[in-house]
Each structure stands twice: as structure tokens, then as C-alpha cells.
Structure 1
Amino acid sequence: MLTYTILGSGAMGLRFGVLLQDAGFNVDFVDIWDEQVQTIKAQGGVYVSRDGENRHLVPARIFTPEEYEGNPDVFIVFAKQMQLADLLKRSAHFIKSDQYIFSGMNGMGHIEKLNQYFDKNKVIGGTCLIGTVLNKAGDVDFIGKRGAGSINMANQTEEPDNTTYQIVEDFKKANLNPTLTKNFQGTLMSKVIFNSVVNTLCTLFEIKMGEFISFPKADQLGLQLIHEAYDVCERAGIQLLTTRQEEWETVRHVSAETNPLHYPSMYQDMSKGRLTEVDYINGYIYDLGKKYDYEASTHHFLRNLVHLAEHTRQFR
């Protein structure tokens, strides 16, 4: 049986770790947010709710990177893009050449950082359509019914091995609903495009996903962003997993049926005064397009609007 360590034990890291624990796997948690570490230690675990109900304490072993001496088979990383380099540097003393890492992080930019510590044949990229909210240190809310949400995952080499297949089976046992693909860039970019619609628009208007999708012209807003992003990917030679219309249908389905009560992670960052990952989502799409002489101008406009919202917090 594989053992797991969560690097970055925020909302999604806690959800993965708790569900794997519930399925019988040995899981450790590592985080660089001291309040999170100390709170979970003092409580003897993390308080878990589902859609705001049935709050209960789940035991969890958590460490700072400097404290941790474990030797897991697989790391699962859920850091913010701008915090990943520091997390990896502080964790380097327990990273070994035979260990695998699965990343379900938002945006793009993390793979290059992971490759500084892990061989490409040990890196599995993933995208998660799973809503989770960290209410406060040591207190997490799983959004959606049990078994809600899904994962797409792909090896960086696009050549799955036995350990990859075992990780997929473990994720199935944990009710994470994984699908393994052999399209690394297309898998990652499909979620970037999803987030470029839902995360950004919900953040700017401070609304839940279900509230966004109830707007009669939500499809016009979403498809404008999707069309621009697909134009960029076509020029960059990235084959996405779905058609443009299918990508919109994913946005619609997740927003209306899977996670209508969810505030996306970018909103959670904005509402708590943290920097957002918009430069790694809409900004990444725009910057990639510029390399191929294409202006994804709507994505650029939205990126600047999010930064304007960040800027104006100081005046409130």
C-alpha cells in the first residue's frame, strides 16, 4: 500500500488527505502556514464539515517542513503558485529520487518548479473540479455531496507506469473520481481555461458558482473567454481534452449541479486579503498568446481588473 504526504495542507490538501485517510491510507500533512500547523496540532486534528453541516474532528498528523522526517511513496502538492518555490526549498531535505509527486494546483508555472526536485518520470499533473473552503485554520468545509467532483491526471512523460496506475486506484478508493489521460499539457490547460472563467468572474462579482451560472448571459461571458483561450492553445500546438462547447458545458455542469454553493479559491484569497493567482490563470493565457502574436485581450482585461480589486482593498 502506498503512503502519502500532503505538501500544502490548505483547503484542497486537507480534503485529499482526509479522504485518503478515510479510505485506509497512511497520510501525513506538511504546511508552511504556522497558524494552520499549530491549530491542527492543538486540536489533535482538523474540523471537517460538508456543505456547512456535520462538523466533526478528524485526526491529522501535521508538521512544518523543518520538522518533517517522513519518507512517503507519493507527495500530493496543493500550494499557491507564488508559495511553491519556498515550500519546495524548505522540504528539500526529505525529498528522495524514488518518490512521486501529484500536483492538483491551480494555474500554470508549477511544473517547472517541481522539475527542480523531481524527475519528469515521477511527476503527475492533475486538475481538480472539487470545491473546498478553508473557513479558518484547522477548519475545512467539503463542498458538494459525498463523491462529488472529479480529477483529470496525466504523467509529465505521458507514459503511465505501475505506480501511476496504483495512485489512480488509490484515488478511486478515496472517492476522488480520477481519470488518467496521456495528454499532459492539454489536461493542465483545460483546467486553467475553466478557472479563467469561473474563478475570475465569481471573484470580481463576489458570487458563488451557482449565482454566476444563473445569469441569463453567462454563456456569452464564458464562451468569449473560452474562445480566446482555445485560439491561444491552437497557436501553441496544445491539444485540449474537449471542444470549445464541451468546455463550456463543463463550466455549466460544475457551476449549476456539482458545486453551486462554492466560492472559487480565487475569491477565497481575495476575501481574506491574500494575493490571487490570476497571473497564473488569465495572465498565463494572455502571455502564452503573446508568444504567438495573438492578443487574448479579454483575459488581459480581466487580469488587470482583479489586480485593481486587490489594489483598492487598501482604501476600504
Structure 2
Amino acid sequence: MKYGVIGAGAMGYRYGVLLQENANVEVDFIDTWEPNVEKVREQGGVYVSRDHADKHLVPVNIYYPEEYQGHPDVWIIFKKQMQLAEELKRDAAAGIFHDDQYAFSAMNGLGHFEKIEEYFDKDKMVAGTAMIATVLNGPGDVDFIGPKNGEAMHMAPYNDKEPDAVMKEMESDFNRATLGPEMATNYLGMCMTKVSFNAVCNTLCTMFEINMGQFNEYDGIDEMAKQLFDEAHDACARAGIQMIETRQQQVQSVLDSCVKLKYHYPSMYQDFSKNRPTEVDYINGYIAKVGRDNDYVCRTHEFVTHEVHLAETMRQFK
């Protein structure tokens, strides 16, 4: 199959490059960030490193939406939550979406599938989550964090039905790309499990401006994680959402990730450190909303959402 990646950022490059290099499929990149598009064209591709080493140039095809004439079978969508609606509107106006195309997204947080559904048939949508750490150093320069073949992800049909033939072919391509896919059938429980993980690692590392290895130096992180996971699981239970991991499994996932990705600064911190808005409203804030909608107050998630926004506001005084 042929793939198109919307959003040539950290994760967009990760998926597109691995599909292109390991699965030997055709990939086109669509981006609207001019410095990135022009840099890639100037240098003839994107520079790719792994764990800050082995930097090399990977040739890629990159386009602005308005100039794109291709017709991929599957769109892989990776944009910041706050930018997605405008991106999809621009892409649709450029005429790059077609009724026969599938859409896959493994963006952080929740709230994006409803936006994607405005342009794609929900029976052709695939939800994803990715336990994959990546850093965009700058335009045309990306760093894959973690060992080769260490990537892991889940995917599930957005309609909660059994995967069709195209979805199974996507899974096969992702597997050959070494993205470590695992198919699920409960997309919302799958996604909420990842959101609750990010609500611990991304948010706490951002608040204290630390990487995951530094976070692991505090001997109370398991208790902090448990408190946040308990609220998330309680809120989801009231909403009838079945998580795909238990509370203890999620705590252990945090501890394991802090060792495996000890030098990684989560994506929320990357945004915060560059004075960009964070996605906390789509992570801790989303969990808090699920709770409020089901007569349960996630007090810790509510509080840390405010804390991150307070930290964002205080940057003006530095």
C-alpha cells in the first residue's frame, strides 16, 4: 500500500521513515510548516539519528497540501491537537482527501478522532497509540529515541468492529516497519490507557522540567503514578470504558519506561521548553472531563492541569 503522512514532525517522520526503509512501501509527507518543508528540500531529505548517534540523511518526498497530486491508500495523521482542525480544513480544501482512503492516527491525548471523522468514513478510520519516543531537533532533523526494534504500538478499528482486509494489511506493513503493532478491538479503552500513561510521565516531567531518567530518581514516583492512575481508572469505570491494562500494569509501565527511555524528554516538555502551548487539556484535562461527565471529580488531574497552565503563564516573567 501507499501511505501519506500528514504532519512531518517527530512522530510523522518516525512512522514514515520506518515504513519507507523497513517495509519498502511508498510514503509521501504533507506539511504546512514552511521552514521544515524548505529545509528538507534544500538538503534532499530528513536527517535521522537514533539516540543522538548515527545521523544520516534519508531522502523523502515532501509537499505542501496545495501542490500534492498523489493518492495514498492510507493517511497517517500526526499533528498537535490544537493545530489539527485547521490542518484538516486546509488539506480538505486542497482536495487531497478521497472517499476510498483510510485514516490512521496515534496522536497524544484524545479529541482528535472526532475531528478526523468530519473528513473520513468512520469505518475506514483506525485509532492508534504509540509507546514510541521521538524528538524533532529542528526543521528536517529528527532523533529516534530508544533501541532498534524497541518500538511498540496498539491499533484498533474506530468502529470497534473486527479489522477489515486493509486494516490487516496496515498491521502487516507496520510490523515490517518494526513499529511493533498489536491489534485491539476496544479503541477507546486502548486510547484512554495511553492517555493515562501520558498524564503521568508527560505532565510530571514537564512540570519539573526533567527527563524520564531524572524522574526515576525520586523513590515516590510509583505512589504519584498510582494516585493519577487510580483517578483515571475510576473515571473510566464510571463512563463504562474498559482499560486494556490494569492499574498496577500501568504503574509498572511507567517504571519500565523511565529505565528504557531514561534520556527522553516527553513531547509535552518539548513543547513547553520551546514556549509552545502544551496538550495538557487533551491529556489530564481530558481525563478530568471524563470524570466530570460521569459525576466523579478527578481532583489530582484537575489540579495538575491548572499547574501546567500556570507554568505556561509564568514563562512571561522569566
TM range (shorter): over 0.9
TM-score (norm 2): 0.97
Q: Which residue matches 1:269?
A: 271
Q: Which residue matches 1:20?
A: 19
Q: Which residue matches 2:51?
A: 51
Shift of 1:65: 1.3
Partners of 1:310 and 1:37 lie apart in 2 by 28
User: Identical aligned pairs, as a percentage?
Assistant: 52
Q: Which residue matches 1:281?
A: 283
State the secondary structure of the residue aligned to 2:160: coil
**Contact 2:151–2:178 (CA<8 Å) still a contact in 1?**
no
Q: Which residue matches 1:225?
A: 228
Partners of 1:64 and 1:190 lie apart in 2 by 34
Q: Which residue matches 2:33?
A: 33
Matches within 5 A, 1:1-316: 2-23=1-22, 24-92=24-92, 93-159=95-161, 160-257=163-260, 259-316=261-318
> How many matched pairs?
314
Partners of 2:151 and 2:55 lie apart in 1 by 20
Partners of 2:31 and 2:253 lie apart in 1 by 31
Shift of 1:242: 1.0
The two structures, once aligned, show a CA RMSD in angstroms of 0.8
State the secondary structure of the residue aligned to 2:114: helix
Partners of 1:255 and 1:165 lie apart in 2 by 32
Shift of 1:34: 1.1
- The one-letter code matched in structure 1 to 2:44 is G
Shift of 1:214: 2.6
Structure 2 residue runs of 5 or longer lacking an equivalent are none
**1:99-140 deviation line (CA, Å, top 9, x unaligned):** 011101000100100110001111100000000000111110
State the secondary structure of the residue aligned to 2:228: helix
Shift of 1:252: 1.4
Partners of 1:101 and 1:60 lie apart in 2 by 21
Shift of 1:195: 0.3
Partners of 1:222 and 1:50 lie apart in 2 by 28
State the secondary structure of the residue aligned to 1:246: helix
- The one-letter code matched in structure 2 to 1:59 is P
Partners of 2:258 and 2:37 lie apart in 1 by 32
- The one-letter code matched in structure 2 to 1:187 is M
TM-score (norm 1): 0.98
State the secondary structure of the residue aligned to 2:219: coil
Runs of 4+ in structure 1 deviating by more than 2 angstroms, as ranges, are: none
- The one-letter code matched in structure 2 to 1:6 is V
State the secondary structure of the residue aligned to 2:65: coil
State the secondary structure of the residue aligned to 2:75: strand
State the secondary structure of the residue aligned to 1:66: helix
- The one-letter code matched in structure 1 to 2:258 is S
Structure 1 residue runs of 5 or longer lacking an equivalent are none
Partners of 2:10 and 2:177 lie apart in 1 by 16
State the secondary structure of the residue aligned to 1:102: strand
Shift of 1:210: 1.7
Partners of 2:16 and 2:97 lie apart in 1 by 19
Shift of 1:307: 0.5
- The one-letter code matched in structure 1 to 2:11 is M
**Contact 2:212–2:264 (CA<8 Å) still a contact in 1?**
yes
